[in-house]
Structures are given as structure tokens and as C-alpha cells.
């Protein structure tokens, strides 16, 4: 498959499933090529790559554990080699720090092991991964981080998870300030409750929880993956170039 040298390339962590996969497909539909990462399920990653290819765009899957920052140098080298081999390019355009997990535990019951897992995946990981990838992001490119509505409103059981997302919101502003010298815009998107397998699929599969969230959402329903994927593609579109250092909640108006 041939690719025009000006075709934008997006790198999406956790792009083999859930919202990451949806974002990859939405970006491909808008003419972007995609490098996506997966942690263990190569079959899911290959399926996502095949679906992107079926839409006429080039995609590649690379393994990455965002919880293990000792592997980031090797990953950056893989990305550099992939860009040269498959795109004859030195840099990519957009970084989406999407990979994540959900752990539900009350504040009083949260263990140090749970806390460490969340901080490694949701804060330390994207902090240092982005740092390692900066030389590979083109001047004028974009970085989009992922927060959560839970950083604005509080629901019991998410104290640690939401704290990591709050940290990412502060980091986003600092990244935007420091990356501005290269023309790189940095924003953070905050999804509300979405019907996916995230956190065991509770929002999707628990009818009572789904109905409660819908009743507390201005648009009267729970979010769908396309709602987030489309918003991500729009935020990374050329028309959104002047949006910078912003937290954009995409929740349909939860808990207003």
C-alpha cells in the first residue's frame, strides 16, 4: 500500500481494543495512518490493523507495556525503525496516550499495589513515554492525553484512578507550555461513562447502572465508543490546530 509523504501518522497506545481501537478507526477514516500498541493480545491488534487497511490506510501494531518505563527506550527505537521502513519518514504527527485500566476500590480499601499499578499506567507511563517520543513527533504536531469525567465529579471507588487523571490534566498544561516552542499543541480529553469492556464492562452490562448514568446525563443516554473516537479525530484534525492546553470533557453533559 503506497502512502503519500504528507499523510499524517498517529501513534495510539492501547489502540487494539476499546476506545483506542475506535479512535484508530476514526482517524483512519479521516485519512490518517496509524501505529497502535498492544500489551498482550496480538490477535486483537492484528484485527485492528486489518480493519484499518480495509479502509485504505496503512497501520502497524507494536507491543508496549506502558506500566514498564524501562522499556521505553527500546520502544522508541522500534517506532523510529518502523517509520523509516514503512513510511520513509523520521517523525510522526499525533500521539494519543490512551492505554489504561480501571480499578474500582474504595479509598479506605485501596492497596499500595493497586495504587502503584494505576500510577505506573496512567501517570508515570505517559509522562516518560511522551518524553522519550518527543524527538519523533514533528514540529507542529499534537499530543492528546486521556483523562476522565471522574476528575471533575466524584463517585465512590475511584479515588486513586481519578487522582492519576487529575495529575495528567496538570501535566497537559505544562506540556503545552513547554512544547509550544516547537508548535506542538497538547490537550486532554475526558470521556464520561462509555459502553465498553473497560472496568469489566459495568457501564455496558449493568442495566441499573446504565439507566442511572443516562438519567444524570443531559443528552439522556450513556456514551458510545463512536462518541469518543469521533471527538478524538476532530481534536487531531487540522481545523482544531488552535485548541491548546485544554481539558475537553466528552460526556454528553454528565452531572451538570
Q: Which residues participate in catalysis according to the annotation?
A: 161
CA distances from 149 to 22, 61, 250, 252 (A): 19, 29, 8, 11
CA 132/CA 154 separation, integer angstroms: 33
DSSP state of 101: -
**Can you tell me the distance from the alpha carbon of 192 to that of 44, in angstroms, rounded to the nearest whole number?**
24
Question: CA neighbours within 13 Å on the CB side: how many for 152?
Answer: 17
CA 199/CA 196 separation, integer angstroms = 8
Contact 87, 4 (CB under 8 A): no
Tell me the C-alpha to C-alpha distance, in Å, between residue 119 and each of 29, 72, 90: 33, 16, 31
Report the SS3 class of residue 10. strand
For residue 9, the 8-state DSSP code is E
Amino acid at each position: 500500500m503506497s502512502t503519500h509523504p504528507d499523510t499524517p501518522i498517529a501513534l495510539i497506545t492501547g489502540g487494539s481494543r476499546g476506545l483506542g481501537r475506535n479512535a484508530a478507526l476514526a482517524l483512519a477514516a479521516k485519512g490518517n495512518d496509524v501505529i497502535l500498541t498492544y500489551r498482550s493480545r496480538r490477535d486483537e491488534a492484528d484485527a485492528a490493523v486489518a480493519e484499518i487497511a480495509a479502509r485504505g490506510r496503512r497501520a502497524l501494531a507494536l507491543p508496549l507495556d506502558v506500566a514498564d518505563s524501562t522499556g521505553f527506550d527500546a520502544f522508541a527505537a522500534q517506532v523510529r525503525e518502523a517509520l523509516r521502513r514503512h513510511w520513509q519518514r523520521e517523525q510522526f504527527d499525533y500521539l494519543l496516550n490512551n492505554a489504561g485500566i480501571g480499578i474500582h476500590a474504595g479509598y479506605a480499601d485501596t492497596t499500595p499495589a493497586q495504587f502503584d499499578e494505576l500510577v505506573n499506567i496512567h501517570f508515570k507511563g505517559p509522562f516518560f513515554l511522551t518524553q522519550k517520543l518527543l524527538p519523533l513527533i514533528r514540529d507542529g504536531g499534537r499530543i492528546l492525553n486521556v483523562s476522565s469525567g471522574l476528575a471533575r465529579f466524584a463517585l465512590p471507588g475511584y479515588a486513586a484512578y481519578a487522582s492519576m487523571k487529575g495529575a495528567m490534566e496538570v501535566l497537559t498544561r505544562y506540556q503545552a507550555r513547554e512544547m509550544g516552542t516547537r508548535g506542538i499543541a497538547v490537550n486532554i480529553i475526558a470521556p464520561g461513562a462509555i459502553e465498553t469492556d473497560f472496568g469489566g464492562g459495568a457501564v455496558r452490562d449493568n442495566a441499573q447502572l446504565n439507566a442511572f448514568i443516562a438519567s444524570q446525563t443531559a443528552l439522556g443516554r450513556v456514551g458510545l465508543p463512536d462518541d469518543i473516537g469521533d471527538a478524538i479525530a476532530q481534536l487531531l484534525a487540522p481545523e482544531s490546530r488552535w485548541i491548546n492546553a485544554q481539558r475537553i470533557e466528552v460526556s454528553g453533559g454528565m452531572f451538570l
